[in-house]
Every structure is written in C-alpha cells, then in structure tokens.
C-alpha cells in the first residue's frame, strides 16, 4: 500500500494523549516517522511510541516543557538529529485556563501565553532553520480564536488568535522556501479535557450544526491531509474542524 507520508519525519508536541496522540497515529498510518513530546505523561508517551512502532514506522518520545523556549529549541533539534531531517511540525501542546476577567491570576495568564504562544513561536523559529522545500507547519488552534461563545475564555481565545495571526505571517515568510503554514481550529472534541459527557457538553453539542462532539481522529485526519502533497497549495489558512459551530 502506498503511504503518502512515507519517508517524512514529524514532530507532534504534546502528543502523548488526546488530540496529539490521534494526530501522531494519523501521521504514522500514512507512513511518517513520528516524534512526540510530553511533559507529565511519560507512561502514556512510551505506550504510544510502541503503538506507532507497531504500525511499521520509527517513533520516539522526548520530554520538553513548552513554556521554556530553550527546551523547545532543543526538542526540535533532537528530532531532526534523531531522524536525520524534520519535514512536519505539529504544534499541538497547549493549556486551557478559564476564568472571568479580573479573577484569573497574572501567573495563569503568563503561563497560558508562554505555552500556547511562546512554545509555538520557539518551535516554528527553530524548525524554519531546518526544514526544506515541502515542509509543513501545522498548529492546533481553536474556534475560540474567532469567537468567544461563553464567558471566561478571553485569555485562551487571545492565545489562539495570536497563533492564527502568526500562521498568516509565517506563511508569507516561509512561502518562498516552499514551506506551508496552517492552523487547524477544532470545536468541541471528545477528550479528557473536554469530555462529551461533561458539564458543558449539552450546550456545546447544541452549538454545532451536526449536533455532536468531534472525535480526536477527525482532527488527526485533517492534520495528515495538510501534511500531504495534496495540500501543497494551502498555506496561511485557518481550517475549522468544529462540526459547523462557526457556521
């Protein structure tokens, strides 16, 4: 069977669980060698590496704190050294801290921006030095980048809006090198952080056109497409995977 990502090497930050793990699986199923990073789930990271290796690809996990630019820079270079090249960067690691304006601590605001924006920034700047023509940079944003459908998510929305803005700018910067840069903006996705049977699930389902939560593998499939040759003319785009929430 022809694997459309065979010979490619990918890094998925925060890839040990949830959407990140689903993305790693999708890339591996299409033949890519996959590195994942983790900060607090070493057992899950090791288990996923074994699962990916069973798919016939090379896989490895590295510990890295996305809030520390130095560790992110080292991570990108470790992956490139391990595989010999880096073709696909998926910025998935992120945190979701909620609270009304005036009640969220300055430390929580700083942490959220450090991980959701600073970590992405550091990874892209280092990957841009390594990637060659055909490289793919894909960030996982949020429908919250374009709207704030409920109170208490202003800081989170701001971080994801920043990633979307960076995506458009980086697409211009890296276009001449033949590297595409896109952001996937999920809506309600059934994960540990936002389960389909959680306290706010009913309202979130009602907000979608399809009347249901998305599945992590649906985000993974979108990322795998954006990483493929078929998406070579897509760059600077914000791709909604939200069941029509933003329709």
Catalytic site includes residue 156: yes
Q: What would the pLDDT profile of 107-141 be if each residue is shown by its tens digit?
A: 999 999 999 999 999 999 999 999 999 999 999 99
State which fold the 9-241 domain adopts. Answer: Rossmann fold (3.40.50)
Which of 216, 153, 167, 207 lies closest to 189, judged by CA?
A: 216
| Catalytic residue from among 38, 156, 166, 213 | 156
**Mean pLDDT within 15-43:** 97
pLDDT of res. 1 = 60
The number of CA neighbours under 13 Å toward the Cβ of 212 is: 5
How do beta strands 59-63 and 88-91 pair? unpaired
pLDDT of res. 199 = 85
Q: Which tokens belong to 81?
A: 């050294």
**Mean pLDDT within 160-183:** 98
Average pLDDT over the chain, rounded to whole?
A: 96
Q: What would the pLDDT profile of 78-97 be if each residue is shown by its tens digit?
A: 999 999 999 999 999 999 99
The fraction of the chain above a pLDDT of 90, given in percent, is 92
3-class DSSP string for 8-51: CEEEECCCCCHHHHHHHHHHHHCCCEEEEEECCCHHHHHHHHHH
pLDDT of res. 150 = 84
Note the pTM of the prediction, 2 decimals: 0.96
pLDDT of res. 72 = 98
Other beta carbons within 10 angstroms of residue 167's beta carbon come to 25
Apex 31 CA angle, 134 and 216, nearest 5: 95
What's the CA gap between 152 and 103, in Å, rounded?
9
Q: What is the DSSP letter of 214?
A: B
CB 56 within 8 A of CB 88: no
Which of 83, 110, 67 lies closest to 7, judged by CA?
A: 83
Other beta carbons within 10 angstroms of residue 98's beta carbon come to 15
């Amino acid at each position: 069977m022809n694997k459309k990502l065979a010979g490619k090497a990918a890094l998925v930050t925060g890839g040990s669980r949830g959407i990140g793990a689903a993305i790693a699986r999708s890339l591996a199923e299409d033949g890519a060698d996959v590195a994942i990073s983790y900060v607090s789930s070493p057992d899950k990271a090791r288990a996923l590496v074994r699962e990916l290796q069973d798919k016939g690809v090379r896989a490895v996990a590295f510990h890295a704190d996305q809030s520390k630019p130095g560790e992110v820079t080292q991570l990108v270079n470790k992956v490139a050294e391990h595989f010999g090249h880096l073709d696909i960067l998926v910025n998935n690691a992120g945190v979701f801290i909620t609270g009304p304006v005036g009640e969220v601590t300055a430390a929580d605001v700083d942490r959220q921006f450090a991980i959701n924006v600073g970590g992405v920034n550091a990874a892209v700047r280092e990957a841009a030095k390594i990637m060659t023509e055909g490289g793919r940079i894909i960030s996982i944003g949020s429908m919250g980048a374009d709207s704030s459908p409920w109170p208490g998510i202003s800081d989170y929305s701001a971080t994801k809006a920043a990633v979307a803005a960076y995506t458009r700018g980086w697409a211009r910067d890296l276009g001449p090198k033949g590297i595409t840069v896109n952001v996937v903006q999920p809506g309600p996705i059934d994960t540990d952080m936002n389960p389909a049977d959680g306290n706010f699930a009913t309202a979130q389902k009602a907000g979608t056109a399809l009347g249901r939560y998305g599945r992590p593998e649906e985000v993974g499939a979108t990322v795998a497409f954006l990483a493929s040759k078929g998406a070579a003319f897509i760059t600077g785009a914000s791709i909604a995977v939200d069941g029509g929430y933003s329709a």
